[in-house]
Amino acid sequence: MNSIGQMISAYADRLSAPAARPHALSAHLKALEAESILIMREVAAEFANPVMLYSIGKDSAVMLHLAMKAFWPSKPPFPLLHVDTTWKFRDMIAFREALREHLGLNILVHINEDGVKRGINPVASGSNLHTQVMKTEALRAALDSHGFDAAFGGARRDEEKSRAKERIFSFRDAGHGWDPRNQRPELWRVFNTRIRKGESIRVFPLSNWAELDIWQYILEEDIPIVPLYFAAERPVVERDGTLIMVDDERLPLNNGETPRTLRIRFRTLGCYPLTGAIVSDADTLEAIVMEMLTARTSERSGRLIDHDEAGSMEKKKREGYF
Amino acid sequence: MAIQESRAEIIERLSRSGRRGVLRLITCGSVDDGKSTLIGRLLYDSKLLFEDQLHVLERDSKKHGTAGEEIDFALLLDGLEAEREQGITIDVAYRFFATEKRKFVVADTPGHEQYTRNMATGASTADLAIILVDARKGVLTQTLRHTYIAHMMGIRHIVLAVNKMDLAGHSRARFHEIVSQYRKAVEGLEFESITPIPMSARHGDNVTVRSRAMDWHDGPILLEHLEDIDIASDLRSRPFRFPVQWVNRPNLDFRGFAGTVVAGAVKPGDPIVAAQSGKTATVKRIVTADGDLDQAGAGDAVTLVLDREIDIARGDVLAAAEARPEVSDQFAADVLWMHEDALLPGRSYLLKSGTVSVPATVTALKHAVDVNTYEKRPVKQLEMNEIGFCNVNAARPIAFDPYQEIRDTGAFILIDRFTNQTMGAGMIAFGLRRAQNVHLQAMDVTKAARAKLKGQKPAILWFTGLSGAGKSTIANLVEKKLAQAGHHTYSLDGDNVRHGLNRDLGFTDADRVENVRRIGEVAKLFVDAGLIVTCSFISPFRAERALVREMVAAGEFVEVFVDAPLDVLIERDPKGLYRKAQAGEIRNFTGFDSPYEAPETPELRIDTTQATAEDAADRVIAFLRGAGKLG
């Protein structure tokens, strides 16, 4: 078994035999955890066919961990869905497969095969088209083909301005569109889960978590995350001030461009040619949190798709992006 | 990394800022009061902005900003494109910041008149409200409105932020004038604390740093106050309440009830009661993925295992056996209406409170409250952003507490049963005794016995459709044929009802709803008598037809959609009504200036451009025979 496999296997053992905590969970994390659990249970109780969108990143790791806790001793009563653009880091896929094996979870993987045939990729097609076809359209198709009526996403309100205004239970019309001007009012902890056939609700159980809360929770709960979050020597090229990791041979190198080896890590994970790395020595959770406390750039700055145009996230969301 | 700290030290360090827990607050004010600037200032000064966000802010300030060459903090908050263009905030947004002492969640809501509902949304989860006043303008109508809504939504602490003091010469006299004006205006509303602070958000004065220009202010500055205020809710000292969310049953050996404790606390060995059924049990285990707990309190999400099997499902409230919630199908509540389609008394909505969902109607709209003057006035319906005090009738008894005592078991939303929109929010004031004291009188001669004597099964044949579609003509023929075959019938139509029982009603939406409700009740009595009742009414709204359907047993309500296109009807115009409507002589005419909601799944649809009245009547009778109604 490789190291990712060992890590997940140990995690599975820990989850299956609950023991009293060695130290109490921090007060505000306990409140956030309880809120997320309430949201997840509400979905399990009110929807016929929910699914958890699982992106393999740190937020997804926290979301999955919360689901394991929310329904214990039962397993989460819904499958996970990973929309695979075929350009994810190799470690991410290894991590996903280890989870499938050791946690006994039903993880559905959806690839937009038509997009693959058309040769859509983040390098030649550009981030906009790649995201549209391999993520947004792929997600819509996956949700439609399984007839999911509710889908959990790991988005947080502190990530980006348009997210700050989105509801926890966010209504989508039959075409998966989001209408920011026509959102259902959301009061207290009473969630309107009513939909008609074909319509769906995106549910964001991490809405009120901030980036630092995520890291602190991972630290306190000892949740396994993809090793790419930890600093290591990795081959990179620098493009427009962004460090891109050469994760496999598919990344075409420009004239005169040679990968260098730098000690880097990622604050956020997506398609590898679209995800910027940071130079860092933080190779433990403790060091990552310390680095976070002094960080001066927000995590989405490493996401090339957000920079395409002003308000780009809102546009994507209206079209059905998560 | 230079600094090496152990895991325990880092956790300790991080927990420090969460030690005083999370304070949830709402900011209320209009665009011009500098509300967005205030929140932006808090975010900026608590150093929660990253360099890239600052860079975007500087760029946007030059492009859209209203603060000249300075940074326009308001731009940090206006998330959505359309708003950015219009320079206004239109919805509820949530912001996060933290200091050494505390974490904060800020609900940012707009101050525009038409968006009262957004403020209520933000206030529903808030512990404290910051009410902004422009020092130059003083207390405005909207100030009173915001205070009223904060109070109604159960907020106990107010900060009166008198902003833009720099534009009022930092005048102490002006500040005191505004404070006393405010205190007098909100006299009747009870709060635990009202804390006035003079400030200038744009410059940060008395927001995060004490103002030199206002050294006369001896009260707390804003951030200090937010960090120190004790909101330690007394929820834990209230009686135990636990709405059951989900039954956890992984195998035959385990049956637990998953939910969140919304008030009080519970330990293994405590006696509890399932409020609706009154069945009691003892808590055996408090199960979590971190092992069993010795006790759980308000806010904890847990799974309870009981010592015996009692019938419990989602929607039940487990409660302290010695301090039970009220259980009633009738209660009085404040309702805030949030949708452009008005609240109509008598219409059936879906009520969701905690984990229970049940059809409900507003039976009496006692009065509306003018949130600007706090005056009560009589109303027939409730428009968007209006607040009314109502009697609510639920289809089944639910367990609840007064909202001002326990928010989670006293709050509900009303959902439109067809569009699924959230229409209104309600706060229960008290249960109505009526429900307990008026018991249905059980009769020895039953509906079944009466029907048997007549050799038939009772039914309501509900003919709906536009004016002139042929409802009465078909109904008349059906009744004639049934009578000839020896069946017992009665017929209700507009004429025999509007001239008597309902002569006090007009043709507004509210009156149409009440009209149909009364007809439904009368038809139900005839069904109880064992009759087959034909009802011919335009009955334009789905909700009311559904209401009548639910009044009687399954299969007893037969909806017959008498369908004809509007242009055909205008041409037929047997009573000359369409001509009058076109000429503007009749108002609120269905199909013209009043809507008709066609049935989605009627038992029968009759297209009167294809079928004759005779054919239609035969189809209805064939349906009744097929359904076993005719013996």
For residue B110, what pLDDT is reported? 64
> Does the CB of A211 have a partner CB in chain B at under 8 Å?
no
Band the pLDDT of A125: cuts 50, 70, 90.
confident
For residue B504, what pLDDT is reported? 86
For residue A310, what pLDDT is reported? 45
Q: Give chain B positions within 8 Å (CB) of A207.
A: 94
Cis peptide before B397 (omega within 30 of 0): no
Greatest C-alpha distance within chain B: 100
| Residue of chain B whose Cα is closest to the Cα of A180 | B80
Mean pLDDT over B325-339 rounds to 93
What's at B307, amino acid-wise? D
Q: State pLDDT tens for residues B515-574.
A: 888 999 999 999 999 999 999 988 888 888 888 898 888 889 999 999 988 888 888 888
For residue B435, pLDDT beyond 70? no
Kindly report the average pLDDT of chain B as a whole number: 85
For residue A84, pLDDT beyond 50? yes
Mean pLDDT over B621-630 rounds to 90
Q: How many residues does chain B have?
A: 631
Phi/psi at B245 (nearest 5 deg)?
-95, -40
Pair B405, B241: CB distance under 8 Å? no
Phi/psi at B168 (nearest 5 deg)?
-115, 30
Band the pLDDT of B93: cuts 50, 70, 90.
confident
For residue B55, what pLDDT is reported? 64
Pair B36, B202: CB distance under 8 Å? no
Q: State pLDDT tens for residues A134-182.
A: 888 888 899 999 999 999 999 898 776 667 778 899 999 888 888 877 7
Contact A281 B291 (CB under 8 A): no
Q: State pLDDT tens for residues B112-135.
A: 655 678 888 889 999 999 999 999
Find the range with the poorest average confidence among A56-60, B18-22, B447-451. B18-22
Higher pLDDT, A75 or B507: A75
For residue B436, pLDDT beyond 70? no
Band the pLDDT of B1: cuts 50, 70, 90.
very low
> Does the CB of A104 have a partner CB in chain B at under 8 Å?
no
ipTM over 0.90: no
CB within 8 Å of chain A, chain B residues 241-260: 245-246, 248-250, 254, 258-260
For residue B53, what pLDDT is reported? 60
Contact A289 B10 (CB under 8 A): yes
Q: How far is CA B330 from CA B213, B359, B390, B404, B538, in A?
A: 57, 12, 10, 18, 30
For residue B204, what pLDDT is reported? 86
**Burial letters for A60-81: b for 16+ Cβ neighbours within 10 Å, e otherwise?**
bbbbbbbbbbbbbbbebbbbbb
Q: What are chain B's domains?
A: 7-228 (3.40.50.300), 235-320 (2.40.30.10), 326-433 (2.40.30.10), 447-626 (3.40.50.300)
Distance from CA of A113 to the nearest CA of B (A): 33
Kindly report the average pLDDT of chain A as a whole number: 85
For residue B222, what pLDDT is reported? 94
Q: How far is CA A273 from CA A59, B88, B388, B576, in A?
A: 20, 37, 57, 72
For residue A309, pLDDT beyond 50? no
Q: State pLDDT tens for residues B223-265.
A: 999 998 887 667 788 999 999 999 999 998 999 999 999 999 9
For residue B617, what pLDDT is reported? 92
Band the pLDDT of A316: cuts 50, 70, 90.
low
Percent of chain A with pLDDT over 90: 41
B539 catalytically annotated: yes
Q: Which one of B30, B36, B353, B539 is the catalytic residue?
A: B539
For residue B569, what pLDDT is reported? 86
> Does the CB of A161 have a partner CB in chain B at under 8 Å?
yes
> Does the CB of A214 have a partner CB in chain B at under 8 Å?
no
Q: State pLDDT tens for residues B57-86.
A: 666 666 655 555 566 666 655 544 445 444
For residue B301, pLDDT beyond 90? yes
> Does the CB of B442 have a partner CB in chain A at under 8 Å?
no
Q: What does pTM read for this prediction?
A: 0.79
Q: State pLDDT tens for residues B464-490.
A: 998 888 898 999 999 999 988 888 999
Mean pLDDT over B276-293 rounds to 93
Position of tokens 């069945």? B279
For residue B112, what pLDDT is reported? 62
Mean pLDDT over B142-159 rounds to 91
Position of tokens 């907020």? B155
Q: How many CA atoms lie less than 13 Å away from B237 in the CB half-sphere?
A: 3
For residue B592, pLDDT beyond 50? yes
